[in-house]
Structure formats: structure tokens, C-alpha cells
């Protein structure tokens, strides 16, 4: 039933657009995931403490906060394709800079600067690719729900992350921690070439803006007005600092924590296992989204229950200190997060105007990143002073602060809240 309905909503043009979208996601995620499983170990091997390592991650998220809106303006004025190409180029340069600093054991301040540059690279992606997909699909005559499309993206990202994280951990163990960063730069170069040839702004006409600073101010003001002025958007975005900030830490802290539970600080393959588990959960979560359309009537119901379950899982990780048990809990946490992501994307995109889509989505990403600036180093310091389990328990308490905002969003009954199956229970 679901597949038949989906096929009626898809034409050749929209299929081609989705293929390009999925290819770009595949390459971008593969490049990133080659180092996701070992990133914290890479920073610690460079001589940083836990607090400094997560401080460097906080600088990365600070870079995202600083540049989210300006790069969103680039996507909304110069084009989504331009934004993607600039992001790929910036990430390649910052990745190679990371490699050089690791080799020379650079001081913390240098890692902070490089991490800000890395954050700049990622902001060119956030919002731009998603906005490109939605505008191009609508222009092609696609009339279906966005959830299945984003779910497919989640599956492809999961496959790329699974392959990349396992390969990155195995390669690091067979060679050294620097080789995955070299491979990452190579894959980014391939992604640049594919986007240059295949990606075109469809359904959106890039426009020359005013003076850059005035354009940033104009678009930022209108995006804040449209975002915070619309209660359904406002409440969901205000929940982001708590969920995103904690999720960043929960993922990256799992690498050294699993090694601690395993008892071998050099078992880099075990560290890659954490990223591989999250990748597998992403694949399963993508397949689960259509089933949720038959089980829930509203998207905010999924978001509310998912946030609650995720919080409880983090509490459990804080109290259960067994390698096998923590792995099981990590699977559950990642699965819940993977299910919520495409549903949240569909909810927000259904409330955003096309001409400001990239910027407002970047504003949403900015809010999520802003939580990471404070939460990541704070929880990293908690791990240094007390332990990893304690830091996870504290993270659960912080994430619980998102629940009231999701509940407020649910009360708004937004036009994008209903899922495809109107007959499903609440």
C-alpha cells in the first residue's frame, strides 16, 4: 500500500533529483564518518585532555553558530549549489589542517581555530542541501510526503556511516590515526567533482543580494520573525539546544568510554564500533519511518515520545557500567534518534517558505549547535572530574529540558503535524 502510493507521487524528474541528493549525502557522510569513530581518540592522541578535546568540539560548534546564518544567506542568494561547493572545499582544507596539527602536537588554541574553520565548512551544507531537495522536488511536480524521502536519506547516510566508521577504525588500527583524515580529504574531492557536474539549482533562482552584511541582517531578521514568530516552529527550534548539544557529547564520548569498558586504550576498532552502531540504527530508523505513519497520527507525538525514551536511555547508560549493556543501550539511543530526525525535518519544512528555507533551517541548526558550545565542554569536564557514566547522567538531565518545548509544539496543531495516515491513533 505504502509503496504503491509512493510510486504514484514520483515522476522521472523527481527520481533524478532524489538520486543526486542521495549521492551527495552518501559522499558527504562517507567522508565525515571516516573519522567519526576515532575523532576523540585523535584529539587525545594529539595531547589534549578530555576537557580540551570537547573544548575543541565546542569551538567547532561555535563556528557553526557564527556562520550558520551567513552561509544560509549564501545558499538563499548565491545558490544551494554554490554553498555545497564552498562547504566541500572548506572541509577539505580544514581536514588537512587537522592532520598537520596532529603531526606537530599543536597547542589547544590552534585546535580551536581549526575547529572553527571546520564548523564553517559544515554550515555550508546545513540547510542548503535540504532546501535544494525540497525546492527541486516541488518544481518537478512531486506531490508525495517528504518523510519517505528524508527517510531514504537517513538510510543512505546510515550505510555510508557504517562503512566509513568501520573502515576508519580498522584503517587507523592497521596504520595510524592520521590515515583516515587523508582518505576523508580524498572523498571530499570526489564529492566536489560530483556536485560541480550534477547539482543544479532547480525550483529556485539565485538572486544577487544587497551588501553582504546588510543582506545577512535582512535575512536574519526575517528568519527570526518567521521562525520565532510562528509558535510551531519556535517551540521545536527551542528544544534543539538541549537535544543536539547532548547528542554531540553522547556520540563522541562513547568512543573513549567503550575503550575504557573494553580495557584496551588502543583498540581503535572498538571505538569505530560506536559509530558503526549509530550507522546501523540510522538504516533501521529510515525503514521504520513509514511504519510510524501507520502507528501515529501526529509527528509531534513521535518527537515527544522519542525525546523521553532517549533521555531515559542516557540515564541508563549513566548507571550500567557493562560493555555489552552499554552497547545495547547505544543501539536503542541511536535508533530513537534516527527515527526522529526525518520526521522533524518534514515537520519544519512544511512550515517554511521557499525563499527563506535555507536560512531558517540554518537558524534551526544554529540553535542546536549553540547548545553544544556549553554542553560539550561541561560534560567533558564532568567526565574528567568524575567519570563518563556521571557525565551521561548529567546529560540526560539536560536533555529532559527539551520535553516542555516539544509538548508546547504539539499543542499548536501545526499544518505539518499530521502524518500521512490520518486514521492512526494518537
Residues 6+ apart with CB under 8 A from 378: none
Q: CA-CA distance, 338 to 292, in Å (whole number)?
A: 13
Report the candidate in 381, 372, 357, 376 with the shortest Cα–Cα distance to residue 63.
372
Can you give the pLDDT at residue 271? 65
| 8 Å CB contact between 330 and 254 | yes
Q: CA-CA distance, 350 to 394, in Å (whole number)?
A: 34
The strand pairing partners of 298, in sequence order, are 418
Kindly tell me if the per-residue pLDDT of 421 is higher than 60.
no
Collapse the DSSP code of 298 into the 3-class scheme (helix H, G, I; strand E, B; otherwise coil) and give the result.
strand
pLDDT digits (tens, 9 = 90+) for 148-167: 787 788 788 878 888 887 88
Q: CA-CA distance, 224 to 359, in Å (whole number)?
A: 10
Q: CA-CA distance, 79 to 238, in Å (whole number)?
A: 27
Determine the angle formed by the axes of helices 128-140 and 323-349, rounding to 10 degrees.
50
Q: CA-CA distance, 249 to 257, in Å (whole number)?
A: 12
- Count other C-beta atoms under 10 Å from residue 322's C-beta: 10
Residue 154 in grid coordinates: 537517513
Please give the angle made by the CA atoms of 283, 306 and 142, to the nearest 5 degrees. 55
| 8 Å CB contact between 383 and 315 | no
Q: CA-CA distance, 172 to 182, in Å (whole number)?
A: 11
pLDDT digits (tens, 9 = 90+) for 191-207: 999 989 888 887 777 66
Q: CA-CA distance, 322 to 370, in Å (whole number)?
A: 32
Residue 385 in grid coordinates: 572530574
Length of the chain measured in residues: 426
Q: CA-CA distance, 98 to 177, in Å (whole number)?
A: 11
**On the CB side of 257, how many CA atoms lie within 13 Å of its CA?**
29
Can you give the pLDDT at residue 7? 46
pTM: 0.66
Report the candidate in 201, 202, 196, 209 with the shortest Cα–Cα distance to residue 77.
209
Whole-angstrom CA distances from 183 to 229, 255, 308, 326, 378 are 44, 20, 38, 30, 32
Of the two residues 350 and 395, the one the predictor is more confident about is: 395
Residue 408: pLDDT band (50, 70, 90) is very high
Report the candidate in 230, 240, 225, 232 with the shortest Cα–Cα distance to residue 408.
232
**pLDDT over 70 percentage in the chain:** 86
418 φ, ψ (degrees, to nearest 5): -60, 140
127 DSSP assignment: T
Can you give the pLDDT at residue 56? 86
| 8 Å CB contact between 38 and 169 | yes
**Which of 48-62, 131-145, 303-317, 345-359 shows the highest mean pLDDT?**
303-317
Q: CA-CA distance, 164 to 166, in Å (whole number)?
A: 6
pLDDT digits (tens, 9 = 90+) for 66-115: 887 777 777 777 788 888 899 899 999 999 999 999 988 889 999 999 99
What is the DSSP track for 246-291? HHHHHHHHHHHHHHHHHT-TT-HHHHHHHHHHHHHHHHHHHHHHHH
- 404: Cα separation from own chain's centroid: 22
Residue 216: pLDDT band (50, 70, 90) is low
Residue 425: pLDDT band (50, 70, 90) is very low
What is the DSSP track for 61-93? HHHHHHHHHHHHHHHHHT-HHHHHHHHHHHHHH
205 DSSP assignment: -
Amino acid at each position: 500500500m505504502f509503496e504503491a502510493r509512493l510510486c504514484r507521487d514520483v515522476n522521472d524528474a523527481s527520481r533524478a533529483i532524489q538520486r543526486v541528493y542521495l549521492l551527495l549525502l552518501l559522499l558527504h557522510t562517507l567522508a565525515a564518518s571516516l573519522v567519526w569513530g576515532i575523532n576523540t581518540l585523535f584529539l587525545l592522541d594529539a595531547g589534549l585532555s578530555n576537557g580540551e578535546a570537547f573544548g575543541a568540539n565546542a569551538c567547532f560548534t561555535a563556528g557553526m553558530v557564527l556562520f550558520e546564518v551567513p552561509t544560509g544567506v549564501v545558499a538563499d542568494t548565491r545558490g544551494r549549489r554554490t554553498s555545497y561547493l564552498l562547504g566541500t572545499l572548506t572541509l577539505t582544507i580544514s581536514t588537512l589542517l587537522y592532520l598537520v596539527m596532529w603531526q606537530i602536537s599543536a597547542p589547544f588554541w590552534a585546535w580551536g581555530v581549526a575547529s572553527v574553520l571546520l564548523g564553517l565548512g559544515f554550515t555550508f551544507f546545513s540547510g542548503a542541501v535540504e532546501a535544494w531537495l525540497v525546492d527541486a522536488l516541488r518544481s518537478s511536480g512531486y506531490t508525495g510526503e517528504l518523510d519517505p524521502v528524508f527517510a531514504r536519506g537517513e538510510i543512505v547516510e546510515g550505510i555510508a556511516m557504517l562503512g566509513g566508521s568501520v573502515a576508519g577504525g580498522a584503517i587507523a588500527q592497521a596504520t595510524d590515526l592520521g590515515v583516515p583524515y587523508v582518505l576523508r580529504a580524498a572523498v571530499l574531492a570526489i564529492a566536489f567533482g560530483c556536485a560541480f557536474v550534477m547539482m543544479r539549482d532547480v525550483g529556485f533562482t539565485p538572486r544577487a543580494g544587497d551588501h553582504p552584511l546588510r543582506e545577512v541582517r535582512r535575512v536574519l531578521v526575517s528568519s527570526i520573525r518567521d521562525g520565532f514568530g510562528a509558535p510551531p516552529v519556535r517551540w521545536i527550534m527551542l528544544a534543539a539546544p538541549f537535544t543536539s548539544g547532548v547528542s554531540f557529547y553522547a556520540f563522541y564520548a562513547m568512543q573513549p568510554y567503550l575503550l575504557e569498558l573494553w580495557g584496551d586504550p588502543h583498540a581503535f576498532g572498538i571505538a569505530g564500533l560506536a559509530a558503526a552502531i549509530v550507522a546501523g540504527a540510522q538504516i533501521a530508523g529510515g525503514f521504520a519511518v513509514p511504519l510510524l505513519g501507520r502507528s501515529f497520527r501526529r509527528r509531534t507525538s513521535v518527537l515527544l515520545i522519542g525525546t523521553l525514551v532517549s533521555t531515559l536511555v542516557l540515564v541508563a547508560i549513566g548507571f550500567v557500567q557493562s560493555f555489552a549493556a552499554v552497547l545495547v543501550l547505544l543501539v536503542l539511543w541511536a535508533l530513537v534518534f534516527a527515527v526522529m530526525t526525518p520526521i522533524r525535518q518534514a515537520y519544519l519544512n512544511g512550515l517554511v517558505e521557499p525563499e527563506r528555507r535555507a536560512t531558517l533551517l540554518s537558524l534551526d541548526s544554529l540553535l542546536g549547535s549553540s547548545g553544544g558550545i556549553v554542553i560539550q565542554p561541561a560534560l567533558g569536564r564532568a567526565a574528567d572530574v568524575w567519570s563518563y557514566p556521571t557525565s551521561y547522567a548529567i546529560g540526560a538531565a539536560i536533555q529532559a529540558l527539551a520535553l516542555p518545548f516539544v509538548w508546547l509544539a504539539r499543542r499548536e496543531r501545526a499544518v505539518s503535524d499530521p502524518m500521512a495516515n490520518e486514521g492512526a491513533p494518537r
